[in-house]
Amino acid sequence: MSSKRDGEVIVPGATIGILGGGQLGRMMALAGRPMGYRFVCLDPTPDSSCAQVCDEQIVAPFDDVDAARELVNLASVVTYEFENISPAVAAVLQDESYLPQGTQLLRTTRHRAREKRAIIAAGAQVASFAEISDQALFEKALEKLGVPSVLKTATGGYDGKGQRVIKDIGAGAQAYTTLADQGDLVLERFIDFQCELSVVVARGTTGERMTFPVAENIHVDNRLHLSIAPARVGDDIKEEVSEIALAIADSLDMVGLLGIEFFLGRDGEIYVNEMAPRPHNSGHYTMDGCLTSQFEQHLRAICGLPLGNPHQHTPVVMANLLGQHVEPWLEQLVKPRPSNLELKTHLYGKSPAREGRKMGHVNILADDVEEALQWVESCSVWSDLQS
Ligand code: AMP
């Protein structure tokens, strides 16, 4: 059983519980308040990003089972905004709350090899890979997959943490030694890609599902810098990517949102890279570019409401604001805006503004994404990320 009341409609006025107090929870609450929902979140940091816009915050560690129970008791429905939920807390959510998303999807996506097997089972393609549990298996896999390849920790890695690109066979042993103490590993073929794409797919408790328009993503130092929507690829690619996303969502029988990242190879092949069972950074453009944002859609999906129309009405380039960009952005904000653009600022209320920490994002609206991209290129705010 994923819940006690599968498919129940949670009407506005009800309280939604969010496990996690980060920016994704904050933007969920900001989307849900105009609809009439109330929010309570659980996070160890007082006055967390999400708590600032919630009715209530429970300040407690994420693995505090009693605190999770308190969240469950205050909320008519519970969701989460990060994936690394402890098994004990997951059990409380599963057994004692209405958690329409269930915990199975979390289990699948928190382990890279399990995730890849689920993607393949849905009929989609991933980069050739091998599961590594000891050095002998690693050596065999490296010989088979060749170089360049990427060695990744199976769990806990994000934004490029816990991974090493292996460019020549001789460097393999060093990469293995660096990551070997971090549990299971996955070795995958390095994809020579034209671009990276992503899609956010939503699926409601009724099985209704839809995808948001495909975004094109530019990473710098393995961290998302820009999302460009619509992506600058042909309609055939966008359609194929969206179909793959729907097939994965159906195959997983999921509820809520799933952000799926893809490589479009130079060979024209589409490979799924990874998935996250929550709103996705590359879907932040929907807040200002689409009739329904990914955050509203998530709430609609878990509350049993009909999904909103994801139609994109304006081209958008989303640029992340990292710690080092906040001050320059605040200076930029008071300057007259470029006449051909609309700049929408989203700051998450986090402090301190440490270098590399995600502090906010800007949605740059234009008639054409190229105009927005040119402006980002010329703007000194992101000069540290430009080549
Ligand atoms: P990940 O944490 O798996 O999303 O990896 C972070 C980034 O590293 C990706 O967005 C890619 O830019 C790059 N990357 C990861 N795996 C591969 C791969 N197999 N081939 C090419 N680039 C990769």
Is the pLDDT at 4 greater than 60? The verdict is no
As a whole number, mean pLDDT of residues 16-32 equals 98
Share of the chain above pLDDT 90, in %: 92
190 lines ligand 1 (CB under 6 A): yes
CATH T-level topology, domain 128-189: Dna Ligase; domain 1 (3.30.1490)
Instruction: Give me the pLDDT at residue 147, please.
Output: 96
pLDDT of residue 386: 81
How confident is the model over 58-81, as a mean pLDDT? 97
Q: Which CATH code of 3.30.43.10, 3.40.50.300, 1.10.3720.10, 3.40.50.20 fits the domain covering 15-99?
A: 3.40.50.20
Comparing 44-48, 56-60, 87-91, 183-187, the range with the smallest average pLDDT is 87-91
Ligand 1 centroid, distance to 194 Cα (angstroms): 13
Higher per-residue confidence, 75 vs 83: 75
pLDDT, average across residues 26-52: 98
Cα-to-centroid distance, 119 and ligand 1 (Å): 16
Mean pLDDT of 191-212: 97
* 97 ligand 1 Cβ < 6 A: no
Q: Could you tell me if 25 and 49 are in contact, meaning their C-beta atoms sit under 8 angstroms apart?
A: yes
CB 163 within 8 A of CB 153: yes
Nearest CA to ligand 1 atom 13: 222
Q: Look at residue 7 in the predicted model and tell me its pLDDT.
A: 73
CA distances from 120 to 15, 117, 182, 186, 239 (A): 37, 5, 25, 15, 19
- Predicted confidence (pLDDT) at residue 162 exceeds the cutoff of 90: no
pLDDT, tens only, 210-233 = 999 999 999 998 899 999 999 999
Torsion of CA 322, 323, 327, 333, to 10 degrees: 30
The answer to whether 81 and 18 have CB atoms below 8 angstroms apart is yes
For residue 360, what are the CA distances in angstroms to 209, 229, 320? 28, 18, 6
pLDDT at 387: 65
The pLDDT of 20-39, averaged and rounded, is 98
pLDDT 10s digits, 252-275 = 999 999 999 999 999 999 999 999
Query: Ligand 1 centroid to 185 CA: how many Å?
Result: 15
Question: Is the four-CA dihedral 115, 120, 123, 128 of positive or negative sign?
Answer: positive
Residues 208/100, Cβ–Cβ less than 8 Å: no
Q: Is the pLDDT of residue 3 over 70?
A: no
Does 222 sit in the ligand 1 pocket, CB within 6 Å? yes
pLDDT category of residue 196 using cuts at 50, 70 and 90:
very high
**Confidence label for 371 from pLDDT (cuts 50, 70 and 90):** very high
Its pTM stands at 0.96
Q: Do the first three CATH levels of 15-99 and 193-381 match, i.e. the same topology?
A: no
Residues 234-250 pLDDT 10s: 999 999 999 999 999 99
Domains in the chain: boundaries: 15-99, 128-189, 193-381
Q: According to the model, what pLDDT value does residue 247 have?
A: 98
Which among 318, 217, 319 is positioned nearest to 273, based on CA atoms?
A: 217
pLDDT of residue 5: 62
Query: Does any ligand 1 atom lie closer than 6 A to the CB of residue 133?
Result: no
Q: Please count the helices (runs of H) and the strands (runs of E) in the chain.
A: 12, 17
Q: How far is the CA of 196 from the centre of ligand 1 (A)?
A: 9
Q: Distance of CA 294 to CAs 199, 228, 281, 330, Å?
A: 11, 16, 10, 26
pLDDT for res 134: 93
Are residues 112 and 127 in contact, defined by beta-carbon separation less than 8 angstroms? no
Task: Report residue 323 as tokens.
Answer: 């710690």
Question: Taking all residues of the chain, what is their mean pLDDT, rounded to a whole number?
Answer: 95
Q: Which two tokens stand for residue 160?
A: 């490029």
Which residues, other chains included, contact 368 with Cβ-Cβ below 8 Å and sequence gap of 6+? 315
193-381 CATH: 3.30.470.20
pLDDT of 1 strictly over 80: no
Token representation of residue 313: 């009405």
Ligand 1 atom at minimum distance from 191 CA: 20
What pLDDT score was predicted for residue 2? 42
Q: Over the stretch 136-157, which tens digit does the pLDDT of each residue have?
A: 999 999 999 999 999 999 998 7
pLDDT of residue 83: 86
Give me the pLDDT at residue 161, please: 80
Ligand 1 centroid to residue 215 C-alpha, Å: 16
- From 116, 193, 224, 273, give the residue whose CB has the most ligand 1 atoms within 8 Å, as the site to mutate: 273
Top pLDDT among 288 and 8 is at: 288
Q: How confident is the model at residue 285 (pLDDT cuts 50, 70, 90)?
A: very high
